[in-house]
Structure 1
Amino acid sequence: MNRRTFLTAGTVAAGLAGVSMTSGLPASARTRDRRFVRSLDELRRALATAVPSTVITVADGHYAVPAGAPIAITGMRGAPGRPITVQAETPGGVVLTGEQSFVLTGSSDITLSGFAFRQSTTLELPPDCRRIRLTRNDFQLADIAGLHWVMVRADHSSVDHNAFHGKTTLGIYLGIEGAGTDGMASGVRVYRNHFSDHSFPGSNGGESIRLGVSPRALSTAGAIVEFNLFERADGDPEAISVKSSGNVVRHNTIRDSIGGIVLRHGNANRVEGNYLLSGSNGIRIYGDRHLVVNNYLERIGGSGIVLGSGNVRDHFPGESPASRRGNDAPDGVQIALNTVLDCGTAISGESHRTLPPLGCAITDNLLMGDNGQLVNLPFQEGIAWSGNLHWGTATDGNAPAGTFKRADPKLVAGPDGIRRLTTGSPAINAATRSYRDVDTDLDGDRRTGRADVGADEFSRRRPCLRPLTPSDVGPHAS
């Protein structure tokens, strides 16, 4: 069966005809200095005189950008809250072909909205730019092996409400890096995007999002990756690959995909409230001081959560490139309040590297399955266990005796298919630890008093958060 879906410019435009291109833009950008252009030359002239709050609308059509003559945005300065906006007449109605499209240099507060990018080189947001926004665009660049589609190196940029789809070769959809060889862009936000149908058959190099690379592992990026949907993200075992520090990955949905969430390099990342459903890989962890909390994993073919092992104890400034590429053994990682259902193994580790986890905690998780074993951790000495709830005909594995309770959690699936606690569940108010830095649960409900075990805090209210669907993300979402 052909699992790929390819959107033409016509279908994108037709499907998004009701979306206002100025929705979500500041009021100042909706009311001042509006210009309408019908050619690339007119666009270049409009850009030459644009000021903060200028909105340039490009007439729908196909535009072949000449080789060596991209649409240059050089030294242009919008202002915070008053960007210079360049937008398509209708979402997806302006198709940009050729080697390049927009080339940004030394610019700030620029918004590019509603374009269908079909170019044959990477769209770059370079480190000499700031506050660049890519919104409501459709990305299906040339399907060239090794071509990365979008690379963000500009501080405080955002990538939101875009569609990335239809790549069959080596290369990533979206990369976030920074200046030089070891820096990371600061404060990048990636939200409400739809990543789908990457079918590169290799074992590495086809991530949907790559947040850093190994030389940048110790750089604190402070990125937020939230409310994105991944479907058929099959280009790599890592749909979201984190290779930097101090990031938040929350409220994303990964469905029917080979790829999972992997903390491959870096420290002090937070993985919270994500749904991983009917895929091959769950959450895999290396590095130090991560918090993995409130995640819901169901029907993952492999392990739901993998606490890795290392061939290096810690990464450090000035280490050799070979060492930096090594797996950093987890230290001080907390895996808490997650729900893991019907996976190959609920929580597992690795034995093919010699350095074990140290100072880690696996607490107050709800683990359930009917096949295999729930826990398989080859290294036990560096892990503190408490409060986990087990159920199903799967064996307990090597979870230490006395650190878990075996009882029916009384889960019932809601209209969204997610299984939640019901009245009388032994998970209610059963957490063995306090979690002062975990205010809400998977659904957005407040965690009050003693927390409930697993990702769900029992409530009779309708959940305000749920797994994402295509209508929640991409260029057409409200």
Structure 2
Amino acid sequence: MNHILVSRLNILGVALLLFFSSSAFATLVSNIEAFNQAVETAKPGDTITLANGEWTNVELVFKGEGTESKPITLNAQTPGEVIITGQSNLSLSGKYLVVDGLVFTRGHTPTGEVIAFKTSPTELASYSRLTNVVIDDFSHPERELSDLWLAIYGKHNRIDHNSFINKRNRGVTVAVRMNSKESRENHHVIEYNYFGPRQVLGANGGETLRIGTSHFSREYANTLVQYNYFDRTSGEHEIISNKSSGNTFLGNVFFEAQGTLTMRHGHYTRVENNYFLGNRKPNTGGIRIINEHQTVKNNYLYGLTGRRFRGALVIMNGVPNSPPNRYDPVIESVMNNNIVIDSDYIQLGAGADEERSAPPKSSEMQNNIILGKYNDTPITVFDDVSGINFKGNVLTQTSENPIGKGFATAPYKVTKNEYGLMTPEQSLIDGIDFGEIKLPVTKDKVGAPYYDKKDGKVAFGSGKEIAVRQGIDTLANALENSKPGDTLVLENGGEYLLTRFANINHPVTVMAKPGAKPVIRSEKPSFIVIRNGGALTLNNLWFDGAASPDYKGNSIIRTSRSSMNINYSLLVDNVKVTHLNINGYFYFFKAYPGTFADEIVIANSDMNNITGAILSLNKETEDLGVYSVENLTIEGNTFTDVKEEVVTVYRGGFDESTFGPMVSVKGNTLQNVGKGKTHRTGASMYFHGVQNLHIDDTTLTDSAPISLYLTNGEPITVIENVSHHNTPKIRANNEEYSVENVSYQ
């Protein structure tokens, strides 16, 4: 071999040695011990890969110092196939770290955070990235216990293409934390994430995204939130709670979300080119301005029905010399060039009261297009708005205008464009230089690409129809063997005896075909128990209490006594109820604390001889704005000889983060209701703190009075077409309710 060839081989060998000695390592780990060891030795450019499978009860601590060109990566062997369950979490600290492709589900964090960009109060993560990660129903089983799914500390972190779905307990889904100097002026970027459905919490603490807290609200975060999709994020009325200064919200989409993007604290916020698609769903909202130097421009708002703080566009009153945790007045802020279609409420000076007495000043509301066909009084003025300069706005010509100046009118001419969005005439759009009406981001472009975004909620009647023969425990057995969405059909005129609880663990329907009602009796204190995950429809049935034990507090239906972190529904139609008189307190339905119903309906039913109440919804008594049901409908029923109330609903306290319950009582007949000797409220129907109550076309005979306790939040209470026969007048703590065609005989 000649010396030239030898020399070249030596050079090649040295080069290969240098290459392998400096190259990055990829380490596949299959347990927590191997993971910890890999983290200890990780160097810039290295990758730690979690093996596919289920990782249960693991607390992953990921520390490292990567570089911009050579980050240290923690990823899944296959994105979506590393499933982290049980009591698990992830914390990271250092610089230039990447977390990619993990799924957290079927569990909850043992601490206060599922993923935290810190490993200790002084060890934070900066210049790091969380991408393609899923957190789905990783919720504490006790709904009232609070935790954060993602807590972002440090600076210059990027959160992108993640999916956050079905947070069911109290606590913010994603929070930017600013409780140290190292986490302020952070310049985080939160983009292309899918914020999936979040059920109504029925309490404060259900925000989807929060940046800062009131304590640090006048500090600058400078966080950018762009091109995210908020899909039915309805935890509470603040979908986004901005509580710091200098943040930007650009090009996000809010789909049928019950709440608003709220500038709760902080100044110099920019809200631009966001799309709010309410589609006329209840309580859907838009944008709320509080504080100074806020900019709201070129946003599209369609089909929003929310009122008060959930209005489409809201400018608040403030508190003079406000402390950080209250409401700074709106000063030098703009609400310009927005398009508002078929949205019911624009609120100016909202929240005005003795404390919030400072109206907006040095502000603008200009070049907005406001067209609607559902509400002819879309603009509500609560205080002096002379501090807002109105100019160039367009209002539907049939709408009332309490402002007068600064508004032209136009006919309601709205069409659906090629993108399926309702659009005013092009000349109006051109007049405000809005540009093309088109979603800035679509649902398929956000979130972890490997993870399904389908609605996980099972509809009643979507499963099999199963015949259930009469007999002992045949119904309980059929329920135990049923699948979500199934319909159990009982025999007409059949007799069903329960010797054990009939448990409802998923959505199910129990019914009989038209004809004679089957009779259901029980030897247990409760016939039916709705467990976590359960929901129930009942139709054409007869419940009789003759076989029930002599226990105080019996019930036909109740919730679990344990906290339920999944909201339930109860729909009752054409049901007969008799002989709930074995003792002094026999109820049709009882909801226990820590449970929450999206909807309860009692319709077209006949219930008599009952020693308790029909609906007991009064167990949330801590007076923190917590309540038991969001939507309650009682329609077309006859209630006879009921010792307690037809319904008792309680929402106590003065918290403004919740806007329920909403109650409709229509077409009912009450005979000898609410007059039991041990009855505490002395009412036939008792409503405490209900935010929207409508009683219509109802007759009360020989009954106790309707009792109202009206609290904060400008509740809407309308009572009309109600006849009282030998029944006392309506009892209320104040006169701030509407009465029309109410008679006493």
**TM category, shorter:** 0.7 to 0.9
Could you tell me which amino acid in structure 2 is paired with residue 71 of structure 1? L
1:91 is matched with 79
CA–CA separation in structure 2 for the residues paired with 1:408 and 1:255: 27
Q: 1:184: how far off?
A: 3.1
Provide the identity percentage: 27
1:175 aligns to 2:163 (yes or no): no
Q: 1:261: how far off?
A: 0.3
2:448 is matched with 475
Q: 1:170: how far off?
A: 1.2
Deviations 1:65-119 (A, max 9, x none): 45xxx33223x101124211111122221112343433324x1111111111244
Q: Which has the higher strand share?
A: 2
Q: 1:389: how far off?
A: 1.2
Give the alignment partner of residue 139 of structure 2, picking from 139, 142, 158. 142
Is the alpha carbon distance of 1:306 and 1:422 closer, same or farther for their aligned partners in structure 2, counting shifts above 3 Å?
A: closer
> Once structures 1 and 2 are overlaid, which stretch shifts more, 465-474 or 51-60?
465-474
Give the alignment partner of residue 295 of structure 2, picking from 291, 298, 305. 291
Following superposition of structure 1 onto structure 2, how do residues 39-54 of structure 1 map, counting pairs within 5 Å? 39-54=31-46
Deviations 1:412-442 (A, max 9, x none): 322322234555x2453x3xxxxxxxxxxxx
Is the alpha carbon distance of 1:427 and 1:252 closer, same or farther for their aligned partners in structure 2, counting shifts above 3 Å?
A: closer
CA–CA separation in structure 2 for the residues paired with 1:392 and 1:92: 53
Verify the 8 A CA contact 1:167 1:200 in the aligned structure 2: no
Is the alpha carbon distance of 1:132 and 1:329 closer, same or farther for their aligned partners in structure 2, counting shifts above 3 Å?
A: same
Give the alignment partner of residue 308 of structure 1, picking from 303, 316, 328. 316
Q: 1:58: how far off?
A: 1.7
Verify the 8 A CA contact 2:312 2:346 in the aligned structure 1: yes
1:220 is matched with 220
TM-score under structure 2 normalisation?
Answer: 0.51
2:348 is matched with 348
2:384 is matched with 379
Verify the 8 A CA contact 2:212 2:242 in the aligned structure 1: yes
Q: 1:411: how far off?
A: 4.3
Q: 1:185: how far off?
A: 5.6
CA–CA separation in structure 1 for the residues paired with 2:46 and 2:439: 37
Verify the 8 A CA contact 1:388 1:404 in the aligned structure 2: yes
Q: Tell me, what secondary structure is at the counterpart of 1:112?
A: strand
Q: 1:160: how far off?
A: 1.1
Q: Tell me, what secondary structure is at the counterpart of 1:215?
A: helix
Deviations 1:142-172 (A, max 9, x none): 3342111111112111111111111222111
Give the alignment partner of residue 108 of structure 1, picking from 87, 92, 95. 95
Verify the 8 A CA contact 2:168 2:199 in the aligned structure 1: yes
Could you tell me which amino acid in structure 1 is paired with residue 133 of structure 2? N
RMSD, aligned α-carbons = 2.3
Q: 1:329: how far off?
A: 1.0
1:202 is matched with 202
Deviations 1:6-41 (A, max 9, x none): xxxxxxxxxxxxxxxxxxxxxxxxx95333233323
CA–CA separation in structure 2 for the residues paired with 1:246 and 1:477: 34
1:400 aligns to 2:396 (yes or no): no
Could you tell me which amino acid in structure 2 is paired with residue 49 of structure 1? T
Could you tell me which amino acid in structure 1 is paired with residue 78 of structure 2? T
1:55 aligns to 2:70 (yes or no): no
> Once structures 1 and 2 are overlaid, which stretch shifts more, 251-260 or 206-215?
251-260
Is the alpha carbon distance of 1:300 and 1:219 closer, same or farther for their aligned partners in structure 2, counting shifts above 3 Å?
A: same
1:317 is matched with none
TM-score under structure 1 normalisation?
Answer: 0.79
Q: How many residues align?
A: 403
CA–CA separation in structure 2 for the residues paired with 1:53 and 1:305: 48
1:130 aligns to 2:126 (yes or no): yes
Q: Any unmatched runs of 5+ in structure 2?
A: 1-22, 452-745
Q: Tell me, what secondary structure is at the counterpart of 2:54?
A: strand
Could you tell me which amino acid in structure 1 is paired with residue 446 of structure 2? V
Q: Any unmatched runs of 5+ in structure 1?
A: 1-30, 315-322, 431-450
Could you tell me which amino acid in structure 2 is paired with residue 336 of structure 1? N
> Once structures 1 and 2 are overlaid, which stretch shifts more, 372-381 or 224-233?
372-381
Q: Tell me, what secondary structure is at the counterpart of 2:444?
A: helix
Verify the 8 A CA contact 1:77 1:110 in the aligned structure 2: yes
Is the alpha carbon distance of 1:37 and 1:313 closer, same or farther for their aligned partners in structure 2, counting shifts above 3 Å?
A: same
Deviations 1:248-291 (A, max 9, x none): 01111111111220000000000001111115221111100011
Is the alpha carbon distance of 1:51 and 1:307 closer, same or farther for their aligned partners in structure 2, counting shifts above 3 Å?
A: same
Q: Tell me, what secondary structure is at the counterpart of 1:48?
A: helix
CA–CA separation in structure 2 for the residues paired with 1:103 and 1:186: 18
1:186 is matched with 186
Q: 1:218: how far off?
A: 0.7
Verify the 8 A CA contact 2:206 2:235 in the aligned structure 1: yes
Q: Tell me, what secondary structure is at the counterpart of 1:167?
A: coil
Verify the 8 A CA contact 1:182 1:215 in the aligned structure 2: no
CA–CA separation in structure 1 for the residues paired with 2:116 and 2:219: 20
Larger Rg: 2
Give the alignment partner of residue 60 of structure 2, picking from 71, 75, 80. 71
Q: 1:188: how far off?
A: 0.9
CA–CA separation in structure 2 for the residues paired with 1:73 and 1:349: 48
CA–CA separation in structure 2 for the residues paired with 1:180 and 1:77: 21
Q: 1:183: how far off?
A: 6.0
Could you tell me which amino acid in structure 2 is paired with residue 142 of structure 1? S
CA–CA separation in structure 2 for the residues paired with 1:130 and 1:380: 44
CA–CA separation in structure 1 for the residues paired with 2:182 and 2:100: 30
Is the alpha carbon distance of 1:313 and 1:233 closer, same or farther for their aligned partners in structure 2, counting shifts above 3 Å?
A: same
Verify the 8 A CA contact 1:184 1:216 in the aligned structure 2: no
Verify the 8 A CA contact 1:169 1:200 in the aligned structure 2: no
CA–CA separation in structure 2 for the residues paired with 1:466 and 1:324: 35
> Once structures 1 and 2 are overlaid, which stretch shifts more, 205-214 or 191-200?
191-200
2:248 is matched with 248
Deviations 1:203-257 (A, max 9, x none): 4210110111101111111100111111121111011110000000111111111
Could you tell me which amino acid in structure 1 is paired with residue 317 of structure 2? S
Verify the 8 A CA contact 2:154 2:182 in the aligned structure 1: no
Q: 1:369: how far off?
A: 1.2
Is the alpha carbon distance of 1:251 and 1:376 closer, same or farther for their aligned partners in structure 2, counting shifts above 3 Å?
A: same
Q: Tell me, what secondary structure is at the counterpart of 1:43?
A: helix
Q: 1:392: how far off?
A: 5.0
Verify the 8 A CA contact 1:181 1:216 in the aligned structure 2: no
